[in-house]
Copies of this chain bind each other. A is one copy, B any other.
Amino acid sequence: MSESTDRDARHKARMQRKKALIDEKIAQAQDEYGLLLVHSGNGKGKSSSAFGMVARALGHGIRVGVVQFIKGAASTGEETFFRRFPEEVSYHVMGEGFTWETQDRQRDIAKAQEAWAVARRLLSDESVGLVVLDELNIALKHGYLELDAVLADIEARPLLQHVVVTGRGALPGMIEAADTVTEMSLVKHAFKSGVKAQKGIEF
């Protein structure tokens, strides 16, 4: 047997074992219900991953609601794009900039509470299959919203509705409540080594 044929044969055997394992796992996973997904960590991709899921949901004909709890001067591209589809995406941007831009705690609290009122409407709308609560973790971490009240509203949503919560510093109670938690960690970042934040990539 040549070295290459041998390598191919070993590859095939390994892949057969892997397929058997994966098929078994899929067969075990029976229940279908709306998931609560949390994207946290200090790395990039927490929000963009949520917006990728919006694209995926729209591809399946699922209606989507988005609430951005913190309007950065930076996050305009996805808003411009998804506002093209007002029948499919209900898009809401709350707040008026990062908290270190505004420096007014009472105003931030009022804005967060207005945003939550919008989120609650989406969380009680059966026609919405996916709700993105972008940067909600930040509002919770600063105490602008009560975790218990937020989790109660999320818990009370329609059975098949998925929810994605993003933002660094997810509170332990949010992680506890979630079905899936992904931590995005920064391994290396061009911005730190002196490259300007770039349109279409950073915002």
Copies of this subunit: 2
CA distance A40 to B90 in the complex (A): 31
Contact with B along A27-40 (1 / 0, CB 8 A): 01111110101011
Q: Are A56 and B44 in contact (CB under 8 A)?
A: no
Evaluate whether A15 and B77 lie within 8 angstroms (CB atoms) in the complex, with A196-B30, A196-B31, A203-B56 already known: no
- Interface size bracket, A side: 35 or more
Q: Are A59 and B80 in contact (CB under 8 A)?
A: yes
Q: A residues 158-202 with Cβ under 8 Å of B?
A: 162, 175, 178-191, 194-201
List chain B residues, Cβ under 8 A from A194: 28-31
List chain B residues, Cβ under 8 A from A100: 15-16, 18-19, 22
List chain B residues, Cβ under 8 A from A55: 51-52, 54-55, 77-78, 81-82
CA distance A76 to B58 in the complex (A): 11
* Distance (whole angstroms) from the CB of A65 to the closest CB of chain B: 13
Q: Are B190 and A35 in contact (CB under 8 A)?
A: yes
Q: Are A200 and B129 in contact (CB under 8 A)?
A: yes
A113: Cβ under 8 A from any B Cβ: no
7 additional A-B residue pairs with CB within 8 Å, beyond A26-B196, A31-B196, A162-B198: A33-B195, A49-B52, A49-B184, A51-B52, A53-B200, A182-B186, A184-B185
A residues apposed to B, CB below 8 Å: 7-8, 11-12, 15-16, 18-19, 22, 25-26, 28-33, 35, 37, 39-41, 43-60, 62, 76-82, 99-106, 129-130, 162, 175, 178-191, 194-201, 203
CB-defined A-B contacts under 8 Å, sample of 14: A8-B106, A16-B103, A28-B194, A29-B196, A30-B196, A35-B195, A37-B201, A43-B182, A44-B180, A45-B45, A49-B49, A62-B199, A180-B189, A183-B186
